[in-house]
Each structure stands twice: as structure tokens, then as C-alpha cells.
Structure 1
């Protein structure tokens, strides 16, 4: 980006995948936090 003098706004093709990526990141964070908690009850 710095070499081509582009900003984030110029990369509109990335926008559709961002929400899915953030959803997966949140899911993994929740799953890993639950797995590390020895008293956690399994979720269905």
C-alpha cells in the first residue's frame, strides 16, 4: 500500500470478505476461551 500510494478506501474488493473473517475470528476466540476454561460446560 505504501509503495503504490493507496489507502484502505482504494481496496474496496477486500470489503466483502471482512465480515466473514471477523465472524470466524470471534468464533475461534470464543471456542478457544471456552476450551481453556476447565469448568466450562460444553455448548451445543
Structure 2
């Protein structure tokens, strides 16, 4: 159940991309990281 909440949170944070990418959690996290600015990803 917690995983679902995390997944939803990621989708919301990602915006429209989250809706388009209804893949695995790992995929969504990977795409989310790609969207983040390089400075933020330490």
C-alpha cells in the first residue's frame, strides 16, 4: 500500500510525463531523475 502512495507521489511530481509513462516504478523514478536539473542530482 505504501508503494502505491509513493508511486502516486512520483506521478504527481512528474506531471503529464507521469501519466504518459505508466511503466514500472523503476522506470518512473528513472524518468523523473532525468527531468530533474543536473545540479539537483547529487
Asked which structure has the greater RCO (Cα within 8 Å, sep 6+), the reply is 2
TM bin, normalised by shorter chain, reads: 0.3 to 0.5
Structure showing greater Rg = 1
Structure 1 length normalisation: TM-score?
0.35
Structure 2 length normalisation: TM-score?
0.36
Higher helix share goes to which structure?
A: 2
